[in-house]
């Protein structure tokens, strides 16, 4: 199966092949006819053919005579047939919507080409739609990949950059800008497809953050072995959330407040060399950055997050912290 660009090119070639052949054929007939029948030079024959087909109304290059007039009339009729064939092909192209789809694909291609540090969501079902909505709510750029053509119109109406293509193909992921992406979400209903997507993405970029959807416990290990950084089982997460709301409703209300308050954000930040957090004790962060609280930290050599860290811990380059605070203050921390 070819890419949309290749498919569009083949459609244009197929629709305009006959009109183009007619126009070229009539032009050749006109030039050869004037040269053979009237004995004109190639330049005069070509000029006469051009002004005849274009109907610009110039005078004849030379006197035509009865034979020349009859031949010119034939060239005019053949030229009109060619023009009508070209108009019919153009009308069919517009009426079929192919021209609009081609222009839309070109616009989407330009939009995706201008994205950096974005997220690629594979699959626009219930899970993929929820992930996309959350990214957009946070103001993060996102590209959606799905195979269902009917999804394309919904994404187009929502002005979401998207590709109607097979996400398991490396070429599709490259077109989605995975080389410049911040992360990939595998939200397809099929575990097998999520495994293929993860493998394809990992083959393109070994440093990409990949979050994959699992439908059962057995598939979690397969996705990790395929290269996923995190594996989420939506039904298990939903069950834990229901239990948490039942047991600790105030905590969940607080987390919901964090997610909807415009100026408040729960953010993951990496301590960079020479950055604002390097060599700073955790206890000093709140004093220096008003409203910011460090909830957890992971040292560069560790794979585990440490919640409620000791205020005496000194942050080093490569550490990762989870911080809660105003967006502006968190932006200062990231510098």
- Regarding whether 268 and 231 lie in a shared domain, the answer is no
Token readout for 274 is 């020479």
pLDDT tens for 190-217 read: 889 999 999 999 999 999 999 999 887 7
* pLDDT for residue 228: 92
Provide the pairing of β-strand 293-298 with 306-307.
Answer: antiparallel
pLDDT tens for 154-168 read: 888 888 889 988 999
Cα of 138 vs its chain's centroid, Å: 18
Residue 308: CATH number of its domain: 3.30.70.1450
The pTM (predicted TM-score) of the whole model is 0.60
108 within domain boundaries: no
Single out the residue of 19, 24, 30, 28 nearest to residue 81, CA to CA. Answer: 19
Single out the residue of 168, 170, 59 nearest to residue 122, CA to CA. Answer: 168
Measured between alpha carbons, how far is 32 from 54 in angstroms, rounded to an integer?
18
Domain end marker among 203, 238, 273:
238
Residue 1 banded pLDDT, cuts 50, 70, 90: very low
291 within domain boundaries: yes
Number of folded domains that form the chain: 3
Average pLDDT on 89-103 reads 64
Measured between alpha carbons, how far is 325 from 327 in angstroms, rounded to an integer?
6
Strand order in the sheet with 162-164: 162-164, 142-146, 119-122, 183-186, 209-213, 230-232
Directed axis angle between helix 98-113 and helix 65-95, to 10°? 60
41 within domain boundaries: yes
109 within domain boundaries: no
* pLDDT for residue 7: 52
Domain end marker among 66, 96, 126:
96
- Regarding whether 44 and 134 lie in a shared domain, the answer is no
* pLDDT for residue 97: 59
Q: For residues 211 and 185, is the Cβ–Cβ distance under 8 A?
A: yes
Host domain of residue 311: 264-333
- Regarding whether 156 and 220 lie in a shared domain, the answer is yes
The pLDDT mean for the chain works out to: 81
- Regarding whether 121 and 232 lie in a shared domain, the answer is yes
128 within domain boundaries: yes
Q: Is the pLDDT of residue 64 over 90?
A: no
258 within domain boundaries: no
Measured between alpha carbons, how far is 331 from 188 in angstroms, rounded to an integer?
33
């Amino acid at each position: 199966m070819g890419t949309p660009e290749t498919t569009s090119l083949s459609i244009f070639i197929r629709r305009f092949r006959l009109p183009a052949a007619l126009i070229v054929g009539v032009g050749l007939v006109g030039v050869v006819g004037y040269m053979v029948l009237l004995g004109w030079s190639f330049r005069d024959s070509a000029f006469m053919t051009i002004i005849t087909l274009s109907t610009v109304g110039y005078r004849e290059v030379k006197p035509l005579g009865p034979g020349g007039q009859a031949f010119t009339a034939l060239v005019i009729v053949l030229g009109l047939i060619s023009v009508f064939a070209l108009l019919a092909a153009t009308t069919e192209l517009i009426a079929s919507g192919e021209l609009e789809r081609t222009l839309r694909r070109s616009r989407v291609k330009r939009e995706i080409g201008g994205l950096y540090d974005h997220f690629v969501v594979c699959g626009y079902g219930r899970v993929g739609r929820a992930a996309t909505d959350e990214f957009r709510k946070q103001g993060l750029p996102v590209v959606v990949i799905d195979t269902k053509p009917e999804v394309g119109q919904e994404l187009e109406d929502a002005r979401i950059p998207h590709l109607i293509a097979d996400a398991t193909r490396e070429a599709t992921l490259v077109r989605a800008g995975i080389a410049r992406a911040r992360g990939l979400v595998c939200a397809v209903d099929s575990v097998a497809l999520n495994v293929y997507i993860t493998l394809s993405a990992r083959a393109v970029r070994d440093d990409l953050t990949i979050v994959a959807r699992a439908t059962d416990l057995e598939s979690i290990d397969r996705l990790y072995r395929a290269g996923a950084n995190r594996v989420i089982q939506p039904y298990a997460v939903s069950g834990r959330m229901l239990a948490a709301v039942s047991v600790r409703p105030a905590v969940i209300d607080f987390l919901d407040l964090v997610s909807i308050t415009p100026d408040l954000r729960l953010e993951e930040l990496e301590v960079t060399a020479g950055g604002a957090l390097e060599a700073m004790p955790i206890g000093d962060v709140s004093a220096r950055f008003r409203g910011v609280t460090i909830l957890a930290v992971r040292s560069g050599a560790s794979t585990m997050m440490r919640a409620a860290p000791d205020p005496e811990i000194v942050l080093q380059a490569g550490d990762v912290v989870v911080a809660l605070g105003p967006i502006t203050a968190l932006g200062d921390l990231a510098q």
